[in-house]
């Protein structure tokens, strides 16, 4: 019988799992796998320029599809370059499969060339990880990696693959089956009923939708629940897209840079239905004063999130979609009849009294105006990815997604440099969608070399740089909390982003006037080319509203 | 702070201890005792018994975090009133001295004490509850002792 080599096994399993695209960069210890990839026609390999880019691209791919994203790197520095990306995926529960070469088994632990102890390094930042020592275990391990990454609360899985294991032939036939079914929680109907009874009695219910809603594809259930109660829906950063922000019940994001209606509604609520969120400190502000009047019902698939940050009155462990379905079904059969006119008129009042600050068409450009103008151009399947900092928060406040998986942020880790490679991953997965990376000039430079990946692989994304020549969010904090002592946040003025784009073979557009914003986006979209738009903006524009770190979320500045 | 004892069934593979321990170290919770041994369930699993002190909410958090680990198959919390909890201590003696053996026997209520004759001298093995072992070690005459080694605890639901 013709037995498969380790490399062939990896590719066979990837194909059997429906993987069409992988991101990576070869090196010594992963060469056998790359040799196999050379003839592989059904997997598209996208060559990045730095391994961190591969991890973020795989992450972006995973977030917009809900499927596993695959990143490949060599041993040692290639593998350690993935770590920031793996950590980013872990913090935001994204199913990334990272495969790295390792020195041959007999050299492990002997400080061989390009050897690093990846097994230990990734333990705290993966859902699980493997070191493959026997090629006969490989098929089981790669299959398990997919099952683990995608089941329950998703997360990254790392496979460390010694070079000799890649070349060795298996002596056993490979089996394709599911090896790991996840630790599926059993849904407590008693708790569903208890929750339903609390919700049905509530006079001021608010739904808080987190990233778990997106992951479990429960946006439709969120809308149903919101409309039947009726209850307004606030989201966390990761939950953006869980409800169309054009829906009348949408409040926008909560938290430090949340909208006023969202934060006020949470503070006034007598019943907070929190779905698939982990009550991050940036979302809750001071946890002692968070939602003081509300009975909090916390729905999450991960039991360790319950009472971790915010004590709930009732928790339901389970998949968001399943729990919401049961909840809705129970309330419908229990004959829920609610008008809730008082609360609804209060919500309408909040939305009317506290709209987002309207950016004026002044010179220099106010950054929120860029996002507002972008909204008017984008179609519902178009995707916005961001870098981290002010650019991210302006997007969180002003970008209005209509669908899940069209807003991609590095939430938990806040990884600068995430946006460009993640948008490449997103575009590779959804070539028919326009993908825009809303960047700051600081974040953008961290991964700007990935422009080459975008151009050379013909994955045209648009990088819209909100160029204020500062590490803007840090500068904003220095202005507000450090007496305007701008310690090392000014980046200088010489970097020419148009030339930078052109040097990589991308298109560069410079925008200085409000009247040019829309046209720049349209030109970039129409060109079908990788485009960098350099928006020269008001350098000291702050993101408002804002809650002081650790402050009460209804005490907002701006 | 209350004391907790967890009994875990885990995959017996390299790194599994690191996974378990890092759950605690990352949250600055000290594992006071830990022991590992093969489990009777299968050749590929091991049993880890560990104890730590924490506030109840934190202990529950630790348990939930451990249960997230793919390598952890089962977690049982053992309570001192409903479990047999044993620790083993071996006291190597300078020379065989009847006094210390008598001393120890008088201090002992629930432990098993055995005098063992090794090739190069004598030692006393005691297995019993940790509290009693603490008590014994605090009271014996150190001048007869060369070395003391204590295991972690093993525990079993009654």
Domain that includes residue A469, residue range: 367-546
Number of domains in chain A: 3
Pair (A402, A454) in one structural domain: yes
- Omega before A545 within 30 of 0, i.e. cis: yes
Taking alpha carbons only, the member of A484, A486, A489, A509 closest to residue A499 is A509
Residue-wise pLDDT for A319-363, tens only, equals 999 999 999 999 999 887 777 789 999 999 999 999 999 999 999
Chain A CB contacts of B75 below 8 Å: none
| SS3 (DSSP) at A133 | coil
Same domain, A411 and A464: yes
Q: Where are the beta strands (DSSP E) in A56-110?
A: 69-73, 96-102
Nearest Cα of chain B lies from the Cα of A437 at a distance, in angstroms, of 34
Residue A174 in any domain: the answer is no
The whole-angstrom distance between B70's CA and the closest CA on chain A is: 7
Measured between beta carbons, the chain B residues lying within 8 angstroms of A307 are: 57, 60-61
- In this prediction, residue A1 carries a pLDDT of 56
Domain parsing of chain B, residue ranges: 3-78, 84-157
HSE-CB for B2 with a 13 A CA cutoff: 11
- DSSP 8-class letter at A205: E
- A88 close to A410: Cβ distance less than 8 angstroms: yes
Structural domain includes residue A178: no
The yes-or-no answer on residue A51 being catalytic is: yes
Q: Is B14 on the interface with A (CB under 8 A)?
A: yes
Q: Which of A387, A405, A382 is nearest to A64 (CA)?
A: A405
**pLDDT tens column, B28-55:** 999 999 999 999 999 999 999 999 999 9
**Cα–Cα distance for residue pair A69/A41, rounded to 1 Å:** 18
Of A108, A135, A167, which closes a domain? A167
Point out the catalytic residue in the list A15, A113, A201, A555.
A113
Over chain B, what is the mean pLDDT? Answer: 92
Same CATH fold assignment for domains B3-78 and B84-157 = yes
My answer on whether A528 and A405 are in the same domain is yes
Q: What count of other Cβ atoms lies within 10 Å of the Cβ of residue A53?
A: 32
Domain B84-157 falls in which CATH fold? Alpha-Beta Plaits (3.30.70)
On the question of pLDDT at A294 being above 60, the answer is yes
In a domain, A360, yes or no: no
Q: Give yes or no: residues A14 and A132 share one domain.
A: yes
Give this complex's ipTM: 0.91
Q: Does residue A416 have an active-site annotation? A: no
Percent of chain A with pLDDT over 90: 95
DSSP assignment of A57-71: HHHHHHHHHSSPEEE
* Domain assignment of residue A558, yes or no: no
Same domain, A393 and A327: no
More confident residue, A166 or B140: A166
Q: Is residue A308 part of a domain?
A: yes
Q: So what CATH class is B3-78?
A: alpha beta
CB-based contact A344:A327 (threshold 8 Å): no
What average pLDDT score do residues A285-302 get? 96
pLDDT in tens, B83-105: 999 999 999 988 767 778 888 88
B19 vs chain A: nearest CA distance in angstroms? 7
Q: How far apart are CA A419 and CA A441, in angstroms?
A: 12
Co-location of A193 and A156 in the same domain:
no
Contact B61 A148 (CB under 8 A): no
Q: Is residue A443 part of a domain?
A: yes
Contact B68/A at CB under 8 A: yes
Average pLDDT, stretch B110-129? Answer: 88
The mean per-residue pLDDT over the stretch A458-477 comes to 98
Are residues A238 and A297 both part of a single domain?
A: yes
Assign A182 a pLDDT band (cuts: 50, 70, 90).
Answer: confident
- A177 domain residue, yes or no: no
| Cross-chain CB nearest to B64 (options A128, A148, A303) | A303
Q: Is residue A183 part of a domain?
A: no
Q: Which helix (H) or strand (E) holds A34?
A: helix A31-38
Q: State the average pLDDT over residues A432-436.
A: 98
Residue of B nearest to A304 (CA): B64
CB burial readout A401-412, b (16+ within 10 A) else e: bbbbbbbbbbbb
Residue A448 belongs to domain with CATH number:
3.40.50.970
Q: What is the pLDDT of residue B120?
A: 79
Q: What is the pLDDT of residue B116?
A: 87
What's the rounded mean pLDDT across residues A24-37? Answer: 98
Longest dimension (CA), chain A: 74
């Amino acid at each position: 019988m013709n037995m498969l080599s380790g490399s062939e096994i990896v590719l066979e399993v990837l194909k059997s799992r429906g993987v069409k695209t992988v991101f990576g960069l070869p090196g010594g210890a992963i060469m056998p796998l790359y040799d196999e990839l050379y003839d592989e026609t059904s997997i598209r390999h996208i060559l990045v320029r730095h391994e961190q880019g591969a991890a973020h691209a795989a992450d972006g791919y995973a977030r917009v599809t809900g499927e596993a994203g695959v990143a490949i790197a060599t041993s040692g520095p290639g593998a350690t370059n993935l770590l920031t990306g793996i950590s980013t995926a872990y913090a935001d529960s994204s199913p990334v499969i990272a495969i790295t070469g390792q020195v041959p088994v007999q050299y492990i632990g002997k400080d061989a060339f390009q050897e690093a102890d990846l097994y230990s390094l990734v333990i705290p930042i993966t859902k699980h990880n493997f070191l493959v020592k026997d090629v006969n275990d490989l098929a089981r391990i790669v299959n398990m990696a997919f099952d683990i990454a995608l089941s329950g609360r998703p997360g990254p899985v790392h496979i460390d693959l010694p070079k000799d294991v890649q070349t060795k032939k298996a002596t056993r036939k490979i089996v394709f089956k599911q090896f790991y079914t996840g630790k599926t929680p059993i849904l407590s109907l008693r708790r569903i009923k208890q929750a339903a009874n609390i919700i049905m009695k509530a006079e001021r219910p608010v739904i808080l939708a987190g990233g778990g809603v997106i992951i479990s594809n429960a946006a439709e259930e969120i809308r149903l629940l919101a409309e039947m109660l009726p209850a307004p829906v606030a989201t966390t950063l990761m939950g953006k897209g869980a409800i169309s922000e054009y829906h009348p019940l949408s409040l926008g994001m909560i938290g430090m840079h949340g909208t006023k209606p969202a934060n006020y509604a949470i503070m006034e609520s007598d019943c907070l239905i929190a779905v698939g969120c982990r009550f991050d400190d940036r979302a809750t502000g001071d946890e002692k004063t968070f939602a003081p009047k509300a009975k909090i019902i916390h729905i999450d698939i991960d039991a360790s999130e319950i009472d971790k940050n915010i004590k709930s009155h009732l928790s339901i462990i389970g998949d968001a979609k399943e729990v919401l379905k049961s909840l809705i079904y129970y309330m419908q059969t229990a004959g829920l009849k609610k008008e809730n006119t008082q609360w609804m008129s209060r919500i309408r009042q909040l939305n009317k009294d506290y709209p987002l600050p309207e950016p004026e068409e002044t010179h220099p450009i106010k950054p929120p105006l860029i996002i507002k103008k972008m909204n008017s151009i984008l179609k519902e399947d178009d995707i916005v990815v961001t870098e981290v900092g002010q650019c991210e928060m302006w997007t969180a406040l002003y970008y209005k997604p209509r669908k899940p998986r069209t807003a991609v942020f590095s939430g938990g880790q806040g990884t600068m440099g995430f946006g460009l490679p993640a948008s490449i991953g997103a575009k590779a997965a959804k070539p028919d969608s326009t993908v825009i990376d809303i960047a700051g000039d600081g974040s953008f430079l961290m991964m700007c070399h990935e422009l080459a990946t975008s151009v050379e692989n013909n994955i045209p994304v648009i990088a819209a740089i909100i160029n204020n020549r500062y590490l803007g969010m840090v500068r904003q904090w220095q202005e507000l909390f450090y007496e305007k002592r701008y310690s090392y946040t000014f980046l200088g003025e010489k970097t020419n982003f148009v030339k930078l784009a052109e040097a990589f073979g991308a298109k560069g557009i410079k925008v200085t006037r409000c009247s040019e914003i829309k046209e720049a986006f349209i030109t970039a979209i129409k060109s079908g080319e990788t485009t960098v738009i350099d928006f020269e903006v008001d350098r000291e524009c702050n993101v408002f509203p804002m809650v002081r770190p650790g402050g009460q979320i209804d005490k907002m500045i701006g | 702070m209350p004391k907790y004892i967890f009994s875990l069934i885990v995959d017996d593979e390299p790194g599994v201890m690191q996974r378990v321990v890092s759950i605690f170290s990352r949250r600055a919770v000290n594992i006071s005792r830990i022991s590992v041994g093969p489990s009777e369930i299968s050749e590929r699993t091991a049993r880890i018994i560990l104890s730590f002190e924490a506030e109840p909410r934190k202990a529950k958090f630790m348990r939930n975090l451990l249960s997230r680990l793919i390598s952890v198959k089962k977690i049982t919390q053992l309570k001192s009133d409903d479990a047999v909890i044993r620790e083993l201590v071996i006291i190597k003696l300078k020379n065989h001295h009847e006094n210390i053996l008598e001393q120890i026997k008088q201090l002992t209520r629930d432990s098993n004490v055995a005098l063992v004759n090794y090739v190069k001298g004598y030692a006393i093995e005691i297995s019993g509850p940790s509290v009693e072992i603490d008590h014994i070690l605090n009271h014996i005459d150190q001048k007869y002792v060369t070395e003391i080694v204590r295991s972690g605890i093993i525990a079993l639901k009654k």
